């Protein structure tokens, strides 16, 4: 009763509210447990995902199933995993359901020097006993898919390769492993052995599957046989390159074309630690093509038909290909001329200055760290020439080799 009388008094009401409101607010925010309620759910979800990851690495199907839906286990069980873990970054709860934002980190045994990370969205439900279990997992937001999102992964191991496929026969995946196993020593012969000397291939079931892995529209890769992820960026050590194959375009190539493509992409894996923002695409793509065609006996006119046609039409390029010329979604003829021009620039260096100088030039450009002055400095320090003189020599080389 005394409390009620005090509440009626106008002089004491403001003080009472001032003392009471922060306490009530703290109780609402923290709850009886002394911490925010969402933190408790987040900790519970983290523990569930920790158990799920441990079960996957231990190949314990029953323990995995105890954490929720087990589709992922069946799809992943053939993949050689050296690591698999989740880091929950946020939980959005609605009653007995929740969605967790999580960062997945994983490594493939024998290939990844550091974890691959992927943003994931994990849905969970709470049962009658208050336990959270996983009901689904998918890429978060605009993140690309992982191969196992598309189905059960089949694995083939080569001498220098690991091939992961979905919707592909083991026999076809063995063909890819054979191509990759020939590509790796060919790249080492040209570039050297200061790289992992192994390659991981992802072979989805279709062009749409390839595009989903890369998080881009399928139209961006139509006609592109393969793409290497993380081929630029210059992180050292290069943690986890993947060669992602477009099975539709790749299947249309002959044996030589297939080998050239795989050797080209493997070159990107080998050179990645020396490829960064300083490296123009004419050099990175041209060098990869140069290694790909090296030793095949193909002539410049056979390798560069689009430039042959351009020269015949009186359309001689004035400058080395720009980065924009290599856009997958642009003009296909322009793209082909860019690749051919970059290849001929690298072939010119190998012919005139030697293969060792070509390798040294590539490394020197990447070592500069930024685009401005990188090519110019390497032309002077490694080849003893200038941008103007090299460009003029390249234009003449086109006419000499393609005319």
Distance, in Å, from the CA atom of 124 to the CA atom of 69, rounded to the nearest integer, reads 10
Classify 382 as helix, strand or coil. helix
SS3 content of the chain, % helix, strand, coil (to 5): 55, 15, 30
Classify 98 as helix, strand or coil. strand
Classify 322 as helix, strand or coil. coil
pLDDT of residue 39: 75
Pairing of strands 199-203, 161-165: parallel
Classify 400 as helix, strand or coil. helix
Domain regions of the chain by residue span: 37-143, 147-271, 276-403
Please state which of the four CATH numbers 3.30.2010.30, 1.20.1530.20, 2.40.160.60, 3.20.20.70 is assigned to the domain occupying 147-271. 3.30.2010.30
What's the DSSP call for residue 383? I
**Cβ count within 10 A of residue 271:** 27
Region 37-143: CATH code: 3.10.450.50
Residue 189 and residue 198 in contact, taking contact as beta carbons nearer than 8 Å: no
| The two structure tokens encoding residue 273 | 């630690």
What's the DSSP call for residue 58? T
Over its length of 403 residues, how does the chain's per-residue pLDDT go in tens digits?
Answer: 433 333 333 333 333 233 334 433 333 333 444 445 567 999 999 999 999 999 999 999 999 999 999 999 999 999 999 999 999 999 999 999 999 999 999 999 999 988 999 999 999 999 999 999 999 999 999 899 999 999 999 999 999 999 999 999 999 999 999 999 999 999 999 999 999 999 999 999 999 999 999 999 998 898 899 999 863 333 444 557 899 999 999 999 999 999 999 999 999 999 999 999 999 999 999 999 999 999 999 999 999 999 999 999 999 999 999 999 998 777 889 999 999 999 999 999 999 999 999 999 999 999 999 999 999 999 999 999 999 999 999 999 999 999 8
Phi, psi for residue 277 in degrees, rounded to 5: -60, -20
């Amino acid at each position: 009763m005394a409390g009620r009388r005090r509440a009626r008094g106008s002089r004491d009401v403001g003080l009472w509210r001032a003392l009471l409101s922060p306490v009530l607010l703290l109780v609402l925010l923290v709850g009886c447990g002394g911490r925010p309620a969402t933190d408790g759910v987040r900790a519970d979800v983290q523990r569930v995902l920790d158990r799920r990851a441990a079960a996957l690495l231990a190949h314990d199907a029953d323990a995995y199933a105890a954490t929720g839906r087990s589709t992922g286990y069946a799809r992943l069980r053939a993949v050689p995993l050296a690591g698999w873990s989740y880091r929950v970054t946020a939980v959005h709860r609605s009653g007995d359901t929740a969605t967790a934002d999580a960062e997945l980190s994983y490594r493939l045994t024998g290939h990844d020097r550091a974890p691959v990370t992927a943003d994931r969205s994990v849905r969970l439900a709470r049962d009658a006993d208050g336990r959270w279990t996983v009901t689904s997992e998918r890429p978060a937001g605009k993140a690309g898919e992982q191969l196992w999102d598309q189905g059960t992964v089949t694995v083939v191991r080569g001498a220098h390769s690991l091939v992961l496929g979905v919707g592909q026969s083991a026999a076809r995946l063995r063909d890819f492993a054979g191509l990759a196993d020939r590509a790796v020593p060919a790249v080492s012969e040209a570039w050297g052995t200061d790289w992992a000397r192994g390659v991981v291939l992802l072979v989805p079931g279709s062009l749409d599957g390839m595009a989903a892995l890369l998080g881009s529209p399928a139209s961006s890769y139509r006609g592109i046989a393969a793409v290497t992820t993380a081929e630029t960026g210059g992180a050292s050590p290069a943690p986890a390159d993947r060669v992602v194959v477009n099975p539709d375009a790749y299947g249309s190539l002959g044996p030589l074309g297939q080998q050239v493509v795989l050797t080209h992409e493997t070159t990107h894996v080998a050179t990645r630690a020396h490829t960064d923002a300083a490296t123009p695409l004419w050099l990175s793509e041209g060098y990869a093509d140069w290694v790909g065609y090296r030793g095949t006996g193909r002539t410049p006119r056979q390798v560069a038909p689009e430039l042959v046609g351009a020269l015949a039409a009186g359309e001689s390029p004035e400058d080395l290909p720009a980065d924009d010329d290599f856009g997958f979604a642009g003009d296909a003829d322009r793209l082909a001329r860019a690749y051919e021009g970059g290849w001929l620039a690298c072939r010119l260096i190998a012919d005139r200055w030697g293969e060792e100088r070509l390798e040294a030039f590539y490394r020197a450009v990447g070592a500069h760290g930024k685009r401005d002055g990188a090519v110019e400095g390497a032309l002077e320090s490694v080849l003893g020439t200038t941008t103007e003189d090299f460009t003029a020599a390249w234009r003449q080389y086109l006419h000499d080799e393609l005319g």
